[in-house]
C-alpha cells in the first residue's frame, strides 16, 4: 500500500516526507484495521515533518484524523485494563485520533486526565497514522462517528475538532460570554461554531482575509487583523495560531477575570509579559494538552446535535506533501483532507 513517512524532518522545501510502498498492516490483539477513506492534515503533522516536534520513532506515517471502515479485526486481547472490548463489526465507520494509548494505571489516568499520562502514545508520532491506505488502531481508542457527515467532513473533527473543543472548555467561557479567537484555521472554525451554538459572542483576530470572510459567514460578531484589539473586552480567548507573539495581545484584550487558553502543541516563544497590562485583575493563561477520550466522545456528541459546517480542501493521498506545503504557506481554506481513493 501507499504510505507517506517522515524521512528526514526539515523545512517543507527540503522534502521531509517520502511516499513508499509498504505491506498492509495486520491488526494485533485488541486492534482493528481500517481501510482509510479520509485523513485530515493537521498542523501537528507539519510540526512533525519540519522537526518542531522531535520524531519519537523513525519513518513514522503521519496523520491522526483518520476516518475509515473496519476491514479486519484482530484477535481478542488476553487481558486488558479498563474493561471490555467495544463491539466492533466489519464495515463500521470509525475514527482514529491523536491519542493512541495510555497506561490506564498512573495517577493522571486514574483521575480522568489521561491526556497527561506520561506513558501516552500518539497516532502519527509513536504509531503509524493515516497518510496511508490502511491503518490499525487499538479498538478502545477508536471513535464511533456521527451520521449526517461525509467521510471528508468527519476527518477534521477528530483532532482539529476535539482538541479545539478541549481548548474551548479550558477557556472557561461563561454562558453568553464574549470569546476571542486568535487564528482561524481548521480547529478554530469548528470551535467557533460550538461556541456560537452555545450563545457566545465571537470575535476573530486573524491575518488571513479569506479566514476573516469565513468567520463572518459562520456568525462571528467582528473580524480584525491578528494583532488588532477586538471591539469589546473578552471574557475568554483561545489562541489557535502557534504564535507566542500573540499571547500579550490576547491577554491585554481580556476583561478582568478572563482566561486565555492556548490550543496548540507547539508555540513560538512568548515575549516578556507585563504583570499589570497582561495578568493583573486575575487574568489567567493556560495550555491545552491533547485530549481525553471523554472530550472526544463529548465533542462528537455535540457535532451530532449541531450540524457543524466543515470546510474541506480535498487532496489525493498522493498529494500529501503538497497539502502540507499549502498548510505551511497558509493557503488552505478550512481543513486539508487526503482521500486515498482519489488518483
Distances (CA, A) of 299 to 97, 134, 138, 149, 213: 13, 25, 20, 14, 25
In angstroms, give the least distance from the CB of 112 to Zn ion.
11
Helix (H) or strand (E) holding 74: none
109 lies in the binding site for Zn ion (CB under 5 A): yes
**Measured from the CB atom, is 53 or 279 closer to Zn ion?**
53
Mark the segment that binds Zn ion (CB under 5 A) among 30-38, 50-58, 154-162, 308-316.
Answer: 154-162
Among 38, 117, 188, 312, interactor with Zn ion by CB under 5 A: 117
CA dihedral 271, 272, 278, 279 (to 10 degrees): 120
Q: Where does this chain touch Zn ion (CB under 5 A) — which range of 75-83, 152-160, 165-173, 310-318?
A: 152-160
**Nearer Cβ to Zn ion, position 106 or 197?**
106
**To the nearest whole angstrom, how small is the minimum distance from the Cβ of residue 109 to Zn ion?**
3
Nearer to Zn ion, 66 or 215 (CB): 66
Q: Which is nearer to Zn ion, 180 or 264 (CB)?
A: 264
- C-alpha cell of residue 145: 462517528
106 lines the binding site for Zn ion (CB under 5 A) = yes
Q: Which residue in the block uniquely carries the three cell numbers 519540519? A: 50
- Indicate the pairing of strand 201-205 with strand 222-224: parallel
Q: Which residues contact 258 (CB under 8 A, 6 or more apart)?
A: 233, 234, 235, 236, 237, 283, 284
Which grid cell sits at 230?
Answer: 477586538
Instruction: Name the minimum Å distance from CB 159 to Zn ion.
Output: 3
E-state strands within 153-293: 178-182, 201-205, 222-224, 234-239, 254-262, 284-287
Segments in 37-185 forming alpha helices (H) = 43-50, 107-110, 151-154, 160-170
Binding string to Zn ion for residues 158 to 177, with x set by CB under 5 A, is what? -x------------------
Taking the complex as a whole, how short is the minimal distance between the CB of residue 130 and Zn ion, in angstroms? 11
Smallest separation (angstroms) from Zn ion to the CB of 114: 6
Q: Does 123 bind Zn ion (CB under 5 A)?
A: no
Cβ proximity to Zn ion: between 146 and 242 the closer is 242
Cα distances (Å, whole numbers) of residue 215 to 112, 187, 196, 219, 328: 34, 12, 11, 6, 20
Number of residues engaging Zn ion in binding (CB under 5 A)? 8
Stretch near Zn ion under the rule CB under 5 A, chosen from 114-122, 211-219, 245-253, 255-263: 114-122
Residue number with CB closer to Zn ion (162 or 220): 162
Residue window 205-234: x/- pattern of binding to Zn ion, with contact defined by CB under 5 A: ------------------------------
Which residues in 33-72 contact Zn ion (CB under 5 A)? 42, 44
Residue 171, φ and ψ in degrees, nearest 5 = -80, -10
Nearer to Zn ion, 27 or 164 (CB): 164
Looking at the Cβ atoms of 22 and 266, the one nearer to Zn ion is 266
Give the interface segment with Zn ion, choosing from 141-149, 155-163, 219-227, 334-342 (CB under 5 A). Answer: 155-163
Strand pairing of 31-41 and 335-339?
antiparallel
The 3-state DSSP class for residue 80 equals coil
Contact (Cβ atoms closer than 8 angstroms) between residue 40 and residue 123: no
Which 65-104 positions form the footprint of Zn ion (CB under 5 A)?
Answer: 102-103
Residue 338: closest CA among 129, 161, 25, 188: 129
CA distance 44 to 67: 17
Query: Considering beta carbons, is residue 42 or 262 the nearer one to Zn ion?
Result: 42
Which candidate, 60, 54, 62, places its Cα nearest to that of 96?
Answer: 62
Residues forming the site for Zn ion (CB under 5 A):
42, 44, 102-103, 106, 109, 117, 159
Amino acid at each position: 500500500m501507499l504510505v507517506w513517512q517522515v524521512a528526514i524532518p526539515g523545512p517543507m522545501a527540503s522534502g521531509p516526507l517520502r511516499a513508499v510502498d509498504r505491506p498492509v498492516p495486520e491488526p494485533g490483539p485488541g486492534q482493528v484495521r481500517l481501510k482509510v477513506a479520509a485523513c485530515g492534515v493537521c498542523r501537528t503533522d507539519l510540526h512533525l515533518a519540519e522537526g518542531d516536534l522531535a520524531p519519537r520513532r523513525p519513518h513514522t506515517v503521519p496523520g491522526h484524523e483518520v476516518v475509515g471502515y473496519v476491514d479486519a479485526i484482530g484477535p481478542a486481547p488476553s487481558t486488558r485494563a479498563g474493561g471490555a472490548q467495544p463491539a466492533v463489526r466489519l464495515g463500521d465507520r470509525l475514527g482514529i485520533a491523536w491519542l493512541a494509548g495510555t497506561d490506564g494505571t498512573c495517577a493522571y489516568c486514574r483521575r480522568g486526565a489521561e491526556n497527561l499520562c506520561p506513558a501516552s502514545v500518539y497516532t502519527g508520532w509513536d504509531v503509524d497514522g493515516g497518510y496511508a491506505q490502511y491503518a490499525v488502531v487499538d479498538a478502545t481508542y477508536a471513535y464511533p462517528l456521527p451520521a449526517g457527515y461525509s467521510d471528508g467532513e468527519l476527518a477534521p473533527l477528530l483532532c482539529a475538532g476535539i482538541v479545539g473543543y478541549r481548548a474551548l472548555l479550558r477557556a472557561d467561557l461563561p454562558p453568553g460570554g464574549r470569546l476571542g479567537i486568535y487564528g482561524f484555521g481548521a480547529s478554530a472554525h469548528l470551535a467557533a461554531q460550538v461556541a456560537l451554538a452555545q450563545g457566545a459572542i465571537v470575535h476573530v483576530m486573524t491575518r488571513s482575509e479569506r479566514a476573516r470572510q469565513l468567520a463572518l459567514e459562520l456568525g462571528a460578531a467582528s473580524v480584525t487583523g491578528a494583532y488588532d484589539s477586538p471591539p469589546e473586552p473578552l471574557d475568554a480567548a483561545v489562541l489557535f495560531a502557534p504564535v507566542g507573539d500573540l499571547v500579550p495581545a490576547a491577554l491585554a484584550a481580556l476583561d478582568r477575570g478572563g482566561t486565555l487558553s492556548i490550543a496548540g502543541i507547539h508555540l513560538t516563544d512568548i515575549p516578556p509579559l507585563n504583570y499589570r497590562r497582561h495578568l493583573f485583575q486575575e487574568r489567567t493563561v493556560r495550555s491545552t494538552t491533547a485530549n481525553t477520550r471523554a472530550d472526544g466522545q463529548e465533542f462528537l456528541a455535540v457535532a451530532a446535535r449541531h450540524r457543524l459546517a466543515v470546510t474541506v480542501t480535498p487532496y489525493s493521498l498522493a498529494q500529501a506533501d503538497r497539502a502540507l506545503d499549502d498548510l505551511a504557506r497558509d493557503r488552505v481554506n478550512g481543513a486539508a483532507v487526503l482521500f486515498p481513493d482519489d488518483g
